[in-house]
Amino acid sequence: MSNYENLNVWQKAVDLAVSIYKLTDSNISFKRDFGLKDQIRRCSVSISSNISEGDQLGTDKQAIRQFYIAKGSAAELFTQLIISEKIGYISGDENSYYLNECRGISAMLTNLIKSRLD
């Protein structure tokens, strides 16, 4: 078991969630769309939450399950960001950052899962 606070993937996921909160708080479109705002925030927080939960559960098998859930939350966030761009809530240029962060976190989770399988 490691200390999740030292995991780069956890740190990046926390930073992404904070960034998503700031985006949805400052953007007038999200302020009016309570459903999407709530969902995009919940799945962004879910990524780091599942990483920390998995890391503390006690076995690699349990940890890996939570890391897969975190990957699912990253995919969910990715999809919601695409939808947000398509409906005009955020620009493509602005969204590129968030989508790249989702991709990077997902790749890091894949590597973390592989390391726990060994």
Is 1 a residue whose pLDDT tops 90?
A: no
Q: Return the percent helix, strand and coil in the chain, to nearest 5.
A: 85, 0, 15
Return the pLDDT at 118: 79
Is the whole-model pTM more than 0.95?
A: no
Task: State which residues form the domain around 61.
Answer: 4-117
User: How many distinct structural domains can be found in the chain?
Assistant: 1
Element (H, E) at 67: helix 60-86
32-89 pLDDT tens trace: 999 999 999 999 999 999 999 999 998 999 999 999 999 999 999 999 999 999 999 9
pLDDT of residue 7: 94
Question: What CATH number does the domain containing 108 carry?
Answer: 1.20.1440.60
